[in-house]
Amino acid sequence: MIIKNNEAKLIEIYMYICDFYEKELKFHCQRFSNNDKPEFTDQEVLTIYIYSIYHEQRFKCKQIHTFAKDYLISWFPKLHSYAAFNNRINRLASVFPVLTNHLLNSYIPMDCVIETSLLDSMPIITSSGKRKGKVATELTDKGYCSTKNLYYHGVKLHALSYHRKGHLPHPEQLLLTSASENDLNVFKQAWSNIEDRTFFGDKIYKNDVFFEQIMVTKNSIMLTPIKGIKNQSDFDKNFNRAYNDLYSKAVSTIRQPIESLFNWLIEKTDFQKANKVRSTKGLIVHVFGRIAAAYFYLIFNP
């Protein structure tokens, strides 16, 4: 059994998921077989998974199933075995990105500065760079994280977020790519058509020719810290040092909260470490399932 306050949270999550499942989610996990209406429903599977991460901080599927068996069985009497439950979660892999996107777009805080976006990416690590990656090879490859000075196998989570003064930025879009994908290439492919926007990014987004064109065609600008020039003389380095340092500090100060956003997600869900993942579907669930759980927490506990 669980205490009454927690029961209310469980019911709240279940009702939310049931409502959105009927509106959209069911179209992303349709079954074309005689077992198209299982006794243990997809809504129940999603509720157990989200609630256990969001409220109980149970991150591993085994922990989630054990918690449900010990404390939620009166609510979900048709709960399967661990193996069957794990299989059902992976079958819903296509649902979690849709659910996450819905949560992000349905609950945009009123203080978001729509005209200002922060950009960054973070590694999701399936194994160290010392060994050959064998998990989810359709998505993962070897990459390098300059912040951590780390080679790793895995994927990157890219975030385009609305700026919020004094608060964590709110993600407008989240994209998952292979670890070796360059952040600037992701921007060019996914976000270069956004109009009337000021972007704040790190030095990897520095490309004067490309963003001059974006300024002309889309009225959008990219602001990044000043990037050093190779083989520049000491005189030239020192000539504008004060201006460059102040400008870089100003840009970095505005952009810094997106790093706090990633740290908050890691604290709430521990989703950066994916070394227990064993399939592509499992990796998608690991990333977007935990992000969805984090935003359930934020929405229901403003």
Q: What is the pLDDT of residues 248-271, one digit of tens each?
A: 888 889 999 999 999 999 998 999
At 298 the pLDDT is 83
- Asked if 201 contacts 159 with a C-beta cutoff of 8 angstroms, the reply is no
Kindly report, residue by residue over 82-103, the tens digit of the pLDDT: 999 999 999 999 999 999 999 9
Q: Is the pLDDT of residue 296 over 80?
A: yes
Task: Calculate ∠ Cα 259-261-265, nearest 5°.
Answer: 120
Q: Rounded to the nearest 10 degrees, what angle do helices 42-54 and 95-106 cross at?
A: 60
pLDDT of residue 168: 92
Which of 73-77, 195-199, 228-232, 267-271 is least confident?
Answer: 228-232
% of the chain residues with pLDDT over 90: 67
The pLDDT of 201-220, averaged and rounded, is: 92
Q: Which two tokens stand for residue 20?
A: 């959105």
172 Rama sector, left if φ>0, alpha if ψ -120 to 50, beta otherwise = alpha
Residue 229's pLDDT is what? 61
Residue 31 tokens, joined: 């079954």
pLDDT tens digits, one per residue of 101-140: 999 998 899 999 999 999 999 999 998 877 777 888 889 9
Instruction: Please list, in sequence order, all residues whose beta carbon lies within 8 angstroms of the beta carbon of residue 111, skipping any fewer than 6 positions away.
Output: 164, 165, 167
Burial 282-292 (b: 16+ CB within 10 A, else e): bbbbbbbbbbb
| Whether 60 contacts 54, CB under 8 Å | no
Confidence of residue 157 (pLDDT cuts 50, 70, 90): very high
* Single-letter code of the amino acid located at 29: C
DSSP per residue over 126-163, as a string? Answer: EEETTS---SSTTT-EEEEETTTTEEEEEEEEEEEEEE
For residues 55 and 295, the answer to whether their CB atoms sit within 8 Å is no
Q: What is the 3-state secondary structure (H, E, C) of 89-115?
A: HHHCCCHHHHHHHHHHHHCCCCCCEEE
Q: Is residue 244's pLDDT more than 80?
A: no
Sign of CA dihedral 186, 190, 192, 197: negative
Q: What are the helix and strand counts (H, E) for the chain?
A: 12, 6
What is the dihedral sign for C-alpha 74, 75, 79, 85? negative
pLDDT band at 8 (very low <50, low <70, confident <90, very high): confident
pLDDT at 175 over 80: yes
Q: Report the distance separating Cα 28 and Cα 30, nearest Å.
A: 6
With 60 as the cut, is the pLDDT of residue 1 above it?
A: no
Say if residues 184 and 205 touch (Cβ distance below 8 Å).
yes
Q: Is the confidence at residue 34, as pLDDT, over 80?
A: no
Residues 6 or more apart whose CB falls under 8 angstroms from that of 112 comprise 162, 163, 164, 170
Residue 169, pLDDT score: 95
What's the pLDDT at 31? 72
Average pLDDT for 150-167 = 93
Q: Say if pTM beats, i.e. exceeds, 0.75.
A: yes
Mean pLDDT of 215-223: 94
Confidence of residue 67 (pLDDT cuts 50, 70, 90): very high
Whole-angstrom Cα distance, residue 153 to residue 294? 24
Structure tokens at 129: 């760079």
191 touches 218 (CB < 8 A):
no
pLDDT score for 97: 95
Q: Which of 101, 146, 104, 100 is nearest to 123 (CA)?
A: 146
> For position 133, what pLDDT does the model report?
78
Residue 10 pLDDT level (bands cut at 50, 70, 90): very high
The mean pLDDT of the chain is 89
Residue 135 CA to its chain's centroid (Å)? 19
Among all chains, which residue has been given the structure tokens 């805080």?
A: 109
Q: Which residues are bridge partners to 174 per DSSP? A: 159
